[in-house]
Structure 1
């Protein structure tokens, strides 16, 4: 029986780890509508419940070139996630707000979730991500 040396074991473990991670991760295709063409970029984040509206684990952006854009987020693990998007017109990488805290840039959430006096709850925007590619539609408001 042949035994592997430590470097070979490390490489084998790394290959198996990458294969396992990619097998349990999927792509989330975020289709954002009502984008104002030519004004900055559209930022998208895919968040778990713990990081919802904070520092989300998965994100991406595309230039605001048309009324509808698609942002593809890869390697999202299976589970329940919420997706948010906003049009960053001045490209400062944050959702700008007015003096009383109301967003001054267009934004939206998966499942068209809306809050009454603030952002929606995670459960209102939650989508399930499985092994296959998942589509999340968001209309900016």
Structure 2
């Protein structure tokens, strides 16, 4: 019984320490304090801009905001950000299909008539690391 408890304790400790990484995101060049800044975290090319691992939003603040994603396992990640000025929880477009609200991606990756590829926005998060990521809108 003692061996079982010890084994479970070691296993639990290993699992908890494996998810002890975090990403500290600094969003810069926010033009005004209207609406929200929405951040989505992705862990694969398959799910990039479709199904996030984690998402959060904070009130917009002219200049910059800082947000942290905690308790993450080691892996490759990419971040997409939207300045949702009217807080309708979606990106708004003009009649030509051009975004009316500011947005950005990790590595300040840019796409051509579409979001960038995951590989261009992705970065490595190591175990027990706090990664600092700066994104300009």
TM-score, L = length of structure 2: 0.84
> Structure 2 unaligned runs (5+)?
none
In structure 2, what is the equivalent of residue 116 of structure 1? 112
TM-score, L = length of structure 1: 0.82
| CA distance in structure 2 between the partners assigned to 1:111 and 1:40 by the alignment | 24
Superposition deviation, residue 13 in structure 1: 5.3
1:22 alignment partner, SS class: helix
Of stretches 80-89 and 20-29 in structure 1, the one that deviates more from structure 2 is 20-29
* Structure 2 residue corresponding to 1:24, chosen from 5, 18, 26: 18
* Structure 1 residue corresponding to 2:55, chosen from 50, 53, 59: 59
Q: When the two structures are aligned, how many residues end up with a matched partner?
A: 133
Q: Does 1:79 align with 2:75?
A: yes
Q: Does 1:134 align with 2:128?
A: no
1:34 alignment partner, SS class: strand
| CA distance in structure 1 between the partners assigned to 2:65 and 2:16 by the alignment | 26
| CA distance in structure 2 between the partners assigned to 1:98 and 1:14 by the alignment | 56
- Judged with a 3 Å threshold, the aligned counterparts in structure 2 of structure 1 residues 3 and 114 are, in CA distance, closer, same or farther, namely closer
Residues 31 and 138 in structure 1, CA contact (< 8 A), matched pair in contact too: yes
Greater Rg, structure 1 or structure 2?
A: 1
| CA distance in structure 2 between the partners assigned to 1:137 and 1:3 by the alignment | 46
> Structure 1 unaligned runs (5+)?
none
Superposition deviation, residue 136 in structure 1: 1.3
Superposition deviation, residue 21 in structure 1: 3.6
RMSD over aligned Cα atoms: 2.3
2:30 alignment partner, SS class: coil
Q: Does 1:90 align with 2:86?
A: yes
- Judged with a 3 Å threshold, the aligned counterparts in structure 2 of structure 1 residues 83 and 3 are, in CA distance, closer, same or farther, namely closer
